[in-house]
Amino acid sequence: MAQMGSGACALPWPTPEDRRRACSAFCDHIAAGFSIDSFPGADRKTLRYYAEQFPEDFPAEQLEAAARRGLLEWERIGKAGSQGELPKFNASAWALNMKNRAGWRDRSELESWNILAGPDDAGRLEALKPRSSNEIALGVMALLTAKDLPGDDDGSGNTDQNH
């Protein structure tokens, strides 16, 4: 933003009409699938300032709709590419782009199986996870040596009488 003589920042879009035009241009940019950072009219910080200070000229609903259209644009590219409609489509580059652009990530096996009902299930399902030979050997050793320990009534092998 340009500086005025007194040290205050000059607003690039001083009138409501200017702000509405800027918002429309920004929304067109985002809806075309481009990033916020590549908008030629202003940087991310300036856009955020305007969205916060002038919500009537930068309506959240309009900004969100543009973001959804931009994501749809990238998903259309992925769909067309995966169906063989785009020559030289690079699925790995597209997937990395979507991870960075849309927050996509690889799912764990448990998420893929869709068996998690809540956060507590992850701990319970940890027992179902395949174990390495080392982990199995340590578990067997723990079981074998547990019978050599003096036990208490709860069968835990804990000899601490103050538990």
What are the tens digits of pLDDT across the range 31-85? 999 999 999 999 999 999 999 999 999 999 999 999 999 999 999 999 999 999 9
What is the model's pLDDT at position 130? 67
Residue 9, classed as helix, strand or coil, is strand
Do the Cβ atoms of 157 and 149 come closer than 8 Å?
yes
- pTM beyond 0.85: the answer is no
Give the tens place of pLDDT for each residue, 82-126: 999 999 999 999 999 999 888 888 877 666 666 655 666 666 656
Do the Cβ atoms of 23 and 65 come closer than 8 Å?
no
